[in-house]
Amino acid sequence: MSFLFGFAEPSSVPTSSTVAHSANWFLEYAWLVPLLPALSFVGILFFGKRMRYRGAELGIAAVSLSFLLAVCAGFAWIQHRDNFVLPDAASGAPATPGESYVAVQNSTQWLQSGGVEFGAGVLVDGLSVMMLLVVTIVSLLVHVYSTDYVGDDKRYTHFFAFLSLFTAAMLFFVLSDNILQMIVGWELVGVCSFVLIGHWWEEKPNSDAALKAFLTNRVGDVGLIIGTITLFFAAGGGHTFDTIKINEAIVQGEVGHTALVVASLCLMAAVMSKSGQFILHTWLPDAMAGPTPVSALIHAATMVVAGVFMIARLYPVFFEGMQIGGSSINLMATIGAVTLVFGGLLAFVQDDIKKVLAYSTVSQLGYMVMALGVGAWTAAVFHLFTHAFFKANLFLGSGSVAHAVHSFDMKKDMGGMRKFMPKTYITFIIGSLALAGLFPLAGFWSKDEILVGTGGWGLFGGTGGNGAYTFHLLMGVFGAALTAAYMTRCVYLTFHGEFRGGHAHGGHAHGGHAHGGHEHGGHAHGGHAHGDPHESGPRILVPLYILSGLAVVAGFANLPAGFQLVGDSWTERFGHYVEPYKSSYFPAIDHATPSWSLAVVASVVALAGAGAAIYYYFVKVDRLADQTQQSLTELPDGLSKSNALAGAGHRVLVNKYYLDHLYEGVIVAFTKGPLARAAYWVNQKVIDRTVDKAGETAVLVGRHVYDVVDQSVIDGFVDGSGRVSDATGEELRQINSGKVQNYAAILFAMAAVLAGTFLIIFAL
């Protein structure tokens, strides 16, 4: 292998202190990784229908190859990071191998116009290599999973073609070395998500959801374009799209603060739409209308993390523009904090298992954005990394369950699934625990790092970091409790209790659920003929095993420094290889010190959240379900009360009931009840309606203007003056004739008058 991972002779003089233009083969040819799925897209589109497996084999082969290349690139990057020395040590670059963080950039001129160069190229550093790995592995597993999941779909080939393009677009995006190219990737990702969310476009809600996703993203794209233009003109004397050059210029303080504020705010709008941050997140739950593998891909690896990735890639812009360092509040961190709590609360009141997961994604993205907002770059990127695995695991698990019951409704059609699908159950439990942040699963490590990174922990010496974001720390801890609680609810409703679907509801289960019923168009109704739901096949289970395995171990990639159970050389590996610390294109951020006490407290809070939910569902609801001999989903007030009265002889039980009532009233009911409902209400009524309201308001204002100004004032004026000069009134009315040619005549005449005026004033 040494020839593979050895170094090519440096051939060109680097223009920047921390960019190399030649390196290991796998790093230099990283562009092959997105190219393969792109080729497979074309191949499937043209020849897919004629292939033996209808195009799926080509997609899987291409993504597998990409995955192998990405793994090799990963090893090559580790080698590169530790050993590479820039050839021109004289210019001040550190001479110690591995001391500096040297990105590999290979670009070529795409076109040149009016003195502006448009480059195209790849920027390979730890961040992009990490993303290559995540995207390719999740995409590969989703491809395999889809062969079973959408096996009967009539647009199977089409589906695989766009899965490939989706993957290619995201890979292209993460490898971009300039922001113009990033826009291309960004939009490609958006288009692919549109196509895939609307995969079953025959049904109106699905095509509406696809449109909503696309249009909401367009809102942010305006910000993206303005931000890009601002950076283009502002950075380093201007007129470059090159990511590294822009970042370097900002780090060296060559860019005005106002420009950075404008750019960071505009780009933040783009991030909010793409990464489902509060206010612009409404498309994300609707996007569940797409097939489940697509949801997994969107939520874990491709679409939604694009925004987070962009912040990470252009971090100096945000770090300076938002003034992250040495502060205790800023816009980005606050948006993230609000999003994470809001999403967590909304996840409570969903009955659709995929929507629970969708809001959970919103919440976890909030964590990432908050982490970036408080300056915990590595923590955010690490959470992106771990989240990809357990969220893909959960989504694919929910798809596996839905595959069996032909519905996504937890309350109507699920329950007790652990008896029918024990394997799915285990993987789902692992994913949930990882998401909830249980030690030592993946989510624990990354979430803990985010909390530490806020720097708001004052107990036992504090944790340092870039500021004292105490509010954000509290939100983060609260979010951890919420996460644990809603996942407990989700697991209970899906896998525990009695099975509520199938025969109990007869045909009803299909009628009401648009995507659930449609998902298995071919054999949906036949599914009930063979009785109880059954475990999914190996093509669904194997990806689940792999992902849950990764959900267990991924956290060990970045053990906190000072973790005594392992040697120092095992801690903070992720941060060491991924974070461009001490490179010229990364701001000088401070790193927080890990804190045992915070980890313990956060875990306890999360366990308390889980405990409350467990007590509510697994103890109270379960017992009531046993007593009433029916499967329950929530504790109805009337039922528990009458039941408690029925057991009047059991004083202890009654006393306990009061305690329980207090307990429920304070914790569970508070979060599950009014607060969550209020949040949901705000979401549905306020935000969704705001757009409608804006339109309605415009109409109202228009009508008002029409009624009062036009009809009363102008018409009144016309009528009133009619007796004086009837002809004038008629002329005025003719202006509003609705005939285009009259408008054009006025336009031309006025232009002529204006031009004539200028001519007289300035020229004659």
Partner 1 sequence: MSLLAALSADADLYVAQNVFFAVIAAAMVFSAVRVVTTGNVVHAALWLVVVLAGVAAQFILLGSDFVAVTQVLVYIGAVVVLFLFGVMLTRASLGDDESVGDEKRVMAAVVGVLLFAVMATGLIHTYEDGRLVIENPQSVNVVSDAIFSQYIVAFEAVSVLLLAALIGAIVVARKD
Partner 2 sequence: MLLNQFLLLSAVLFCIGVYGVLARKNGVLVLMSIELILNAVNINLVAFGALTADVGGEVFALFTIAVAAAEVGIGLAIVLLIYRNRRSIDLSEIDLMKG
Residue 734 lies near partner 2 (rule: CB under 8 A)? no
**Footprint of partner 1 (CB under 8 A):** 111-114, 741, 745, 748-749, 751-753, 755-756, 759, 763-764
Q: Are 473 and 456 in contact (CB under 8 A)?
A: yes
Closer of 83 and 734 to partner 2 (Cβ): 734
Closer of 629 and 741 to partner 1 (Cβ): 741
The radius of gyration computed from the CA coordinates of the chain, to the nearest angstrom, equals 29
- Which of 2, 108, 569, 741: binder of partner 2 (CB under 8 A)? 741
CB of 194 to partner 1, least distance (A): 17
- Say how far apart CA 48 and CA 51 lie, in whole Å: 5
One-letter amino acid for residue 538 of the chain: P
Q: Cα torsion at 156, 194, 676, 331 (round to 10°)?
A: 140
- Say how far apart CA 716 and CA 198 lie, in whole Å: 52
Closer of 694 and 745 to partner 2 (Cβ): 745
Considering CB distances under 5 to 8 angstroms, the limit depending on partner class, which of partner 2, partner 1, none binds residue 112?
Answer: partner 1
Closer of 721 and 737 to partner 2 (Cβ): 737
CB of 735 to partner 2, least distance (A): 9
HSE-CB of 53 using CA atoms within 13 angstroms: 15
Structure tokens at 220: 């942010």
Q: If DSSP codes are grouped into helix, strand and coil, which group holds residue 104?
A: strand
Residue 758 lies near partner 2 (rule: CB under 8 A)? no
CB of 730 to partner 1, least distance (A): 12
- Which of 429, 710, 718, 722: binder of partner 2 (CB under 8 A)? 710
CB of 187 to partner 2, least distance (A): 23
Q: If DSSP codes are grouped into helix, strand and coil, which group holds residue 21?
A: coil
Closest of 240, 491, 280, 484 to residue 365, by C-alpha: 280
Q: Are 389 and 554 in contact (CB under 8 A)?
A: yes
Q: If DSSP codes are grouped into helix, strand and coil, which group holds residue 495?
A: helix
- Say how far apart CA 293 and CA 358 lie, in whole Å: 13
Query: The dihedral of CA 141, 142, 148, 154: what is its sign?
Result: negative
What is the DSSP pairing of strand 103-113 with strand 116-124? antiparallel
Considering CB distances under 5 to 8 angstroms, the limit depending on partner class, which of partner 2, partner 1, none binds residue 113?
Answer: partner 1
Structure tokens at 34: 């997105």
CB of 754 to partner 2, least distance (A): 15
Closer of 701 and 753 to partner 1 (Cβ): 753
Q: Are 316 and 585 in contact (CB under 8 A)?
A: yes
Under DSSP, the state recorded for 314 is T
- Which of 736, 753, 755, 758: binder of partner 2 (CB under 8 A)? 736
CB of 746 to partner 2, least distance (A): 10
CB of 733 to partner 1, least distance (A): 15
Structure tokens at 247: 């970042």
Q: What angle separates helix 442-453 from helix 353-373, to the nearest 10 degrees?
A: 40
CB of 756 to partner 1, least distance (A): 4
> Token match 């379900």: residue?
625
Closer of 49 and 739 to partner 2 (Cβ): 739
Considering CB distances under 5 to 8 angstroms, the limit depending on partner class, which of partner 1, partner 2, none binds residue 736?
Answer: partner 2
Considering CB distances under 5 to 8 angstroms, the limit depending on partner class, which of partner 2, partner 1, none binds residue 756?
Answer: partner 1
Q: If DSSP codes are grouped into helix, strand and coil, which group holds residue 348?
A: helix
Choose the stretch contacting partner 2; rule: CB under 8 A; options: 222-230, 409-417, 665-673, 740-748: 740-748
What is the DSSP pairing of strand 19-20 with strand 103-113? parallel
Closer of 700 and 753 to partner 1 (Cβ): 753
Structure tokens at 7: 């170094």
What's the per-residue H, E or C state across 394-406? HHHHHHHHHHHHC
Considering CB distances under 5 to 8 angstroms, the limit depending on partner class, which of partner 1, partner 2, none binds residue 724?
Answer: none
CB of 759 to partner 1, least distance (A): 5
CB of 740 to partner 2, least distance (A): 6
Q: How far is CA 361 from CA 295, 343, 380, 569, in A?
A: 11, 8, 14, 32
Q: Are 315 and 250 in contact (CB under 8 A)?
A: no
Q: What angle separates helix 126-149 from helix 377-405, to the nearest 10 degrees?
A: 0
Considering CB distances under 5 to 8 angstroms, the limit depending on partner class, which of partner 1, partner 2, none binds residue 737?
Answer: partner 2
Considering CB distances under 5 to 8 angstroms, the limit depending on partner class, which of partner 2, partner 1, none binds residue 588?
Answer: none
Residue 740 lies near partner 2 (rule: CB under 8 A)? yes
Choose the stretch contacting partner 2; rule: CB under 8 A; options: 289-297, 507-515, 522-530, 738-746: 738-746
Considering CB distances under 5 to 8 angstroms, the limit depending on partner class, which of partner 2, partner 1, none binds residue 753?
Answer: partner 1
CB of 555 to partner 1, least distance (A): 47
Considering CB distances under 5 to 8 angstroms, the limit depending on partner class, which of partner 2, partner 1, none binds residue 215?
Answer: none
- Which of 326, 739, 757, 759: binder of partner 2 (CB under 8 A)? 739
Closer of 691 and 749 to partner 1 (Cβ): 749
- Which of 744, 750, 753, 754: binder of partner 2 (CB under 8 A)? 744
Residue 737 lies near partner 2 (rule: CB under 8 A)? yes
Closer of 646 and 747 to partner 2 (Cβ): 747
Choose the stretch contacting partner 2; rule: CB under 8 A; options: 334-342, 509-517, 649-657, 732-740: 732-740
Closer of 90 and 740 to partner 2 (Cβ): 740
Q: Are 160 and 143 in contact (CB under 8 A)?
A: yes
Closer of 221 and 248 to partner 1 (Cβ): 221
Closer of 237 and 756 to partner 1 (Cβ): 756
Closer of 15 and 736 to partner 2 (Cβ): 736
Residue 257: its H or E element: helix 257-274
CB of 751 to partner 2, least distance (A): 10
Closest of 226, 471, 228, 488 to residue 337, by C-alpha: 471
Choose the stretch contacting partner 2; rule: CB under 8 A; options: 88-96, 413-421, 454-462, 736-744: 736-744
Strand pairing partners for 103?
19
Structure tokens at 370: 């908050």
Closer of 708 and 750 to partner 1 (Cβ): 750
CB of 727 to partner 1, least distance (A): 13
How many angstroms from the chain centroid is the CA of residue 323? 24
- Counting Cβ atoms within 10 Å, is residue 181 exposed (0-12), middle (13-18) or buried (19+)? buried
- Counting Cβ atoms within 10 Å, is residue 89 exposed (0-12), middle (13-18) or buried (19+)? exposed
Closer of 728 and 742 to partner 2 (Cβ): 742
Structure tokens at 738: 């609705």
Residue 681 lies near partner 2 (rule: CB under 8 A)? no
Question: Which residues make up the interface to partner 2 (CB under 8 A)?
Answer: 710, 736-741, 744-745, 748
